[in-house]
């Protein structure tokens, strides 16, 4: 099981477009959840922060160790997501990967994740 948290900076002036992106994902949640299944992603959460007039998005995920790009099909949702990504995420900022010091997931939940993913 892989647990990740990564910080990305939003391009200046793109806050309204991030609002639109988040709303799009909320409005297409059934498709989003189907994509997560195909990606062997158990949990994916996006956090948003504004600090010193700079906006950041944090991606938190819990996923299968054996996740493979080969298993991921490209959908209209993926294309739309990548379009928002290109327009909103500042590529001049190096993403910050946080280090998970401890992962607290009860064993019964871990087993359920593994069982449902085999």
% of the chain with per-residue pLDDT over 70: 91
Output phi, psi for 44, to 5 deg. -140, 130
Q: Provide the whole-model pTM.
A: 0.85
Say how far apart CA 92 and CA 89 lie, in whole Å: 9
The mean of the pLDDT values for the chain is 89
């Amino acid at each position: 099981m892989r647990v990740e948290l990564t910080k990305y900076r939003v391009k200046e002036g793109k806050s309204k477009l991030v609002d639109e992106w988040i709303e799009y994902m909320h409005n297409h949640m059934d498709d989003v959840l189907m994509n997560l299944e195909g990606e062997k992603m158990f949990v994916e959460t996006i956090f948003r922060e504004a600090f010193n007039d700079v906006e950041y998005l944090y991606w938190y995920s819990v996923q299968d160790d054996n996740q493979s790009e080969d298993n991921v099909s490209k959908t209209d949702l993926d294309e739309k997501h990548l379009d928002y990504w290109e327009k909103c995420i500042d590529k001049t900022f190096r993403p910050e990967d946080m280090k998970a010091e401890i992962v607290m997931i009860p064993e019964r939940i871990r087993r359920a994740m593994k069982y449902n993913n085999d």
